[in-house]
Structure 1
Amino acid sequence: MLVRAAGPDDFAAVARLTVAAYEADGQLKGEAGYAEVLADVAGRAEHGEILVAVDPVTGQLRGSVTFVLPGTRYAELCVPGEAEFRMLAVDPAAQGRGTGAALVEACVARAVELGCTALMICVRAGHAEAAHQLYRRRGFVRVPEQDWTPLPGVDLLALRLPLAPPPA
């Protein structure tokens, strides 16, 4: 899987894919307005980096993620010296083929490149067990004191991956 920075020509496809992935996982039920937030890829790109996973053979977009730093609009958990990723989405037809893992690794690499000490992610309790497993396998650990509930019925679990400093 090829992971690269998204450009404006990718934004419409990223929007469609992200909304479809969240709908397929049941994460948009009762969430008035969140589909619009997910679809606003240009807005996200103003406050972070949009990365896309592309099938190297077909060139078809398979997934996307938003990488952010502390103090930016979409950062929810990270503090100075850390990074965070949000809105990781994989085309429902392409799930289980390593796309999510490739996007997570790209975020890890970006955080290490920036000298971050940790990478953070929020996951919705009770949803996307495959994603929870992916994060556990990669070494993310729960940080229960940072769990939060942005809306009634939407419980978000905080996960943190400690990162080694880059070699001197």
Structure 2
Amino acid sequence: MTTLPGRPNTALLIIDVQKGVVDEAYGRGSVVANIASLVEKARVEGTPVVWVQHSDEELQKGSEAWEYVPELVRREAEPLVHKSYGDSFEGTDLEDILARAGVGRLVVAGAETDACIRSTIHGAFTRGYDVTLVGDAHTAGDKSAWGAPPVEAVIAHTNLYWQFQDAPGRTAAVTRAEDISFTG
């Protein structure tokens, strides 16, 4: 029930599943496998898949670390959004891509939970999108050396609070990859 008029469609948004971001991330293998299954399900159901790729001083565009993991292959026709901020909407053409496709609902997966995932789900929600976070398809690296909780706690906390996110005319949800439906 998005607040964006005339935008009944859903898109799968894959955020920053790049070698330098997830290679040592918590549960990397299962998270990437869940994302791969979501991509295939979206393609079969005719749901747009939108890829987001981060670059900054530490993640140089064109470097090996900047590349998507080999298990996930973007099709040429699938949009690729280049970003340099946490929120995938900031300074990008993501909103234009979604508007052209009539998208008002996002299913979100990727990395990192405590940075770009949180920024993007909040950014999407405040812009009027319904946002489903795939609870077993997002991850992060260990930042406990800087005072952050263990990654599994970061993921659990994000899943917990997002399922209770609320605002007029929008919905937020957390769903497991195997239970995702792009048509409902």
- The question of a shared fold, defined as TM-score above 0.5 by the shorter chain, is answered with no
TM range (shorter): 0.3 to 0.5
Greater share of strand = 1
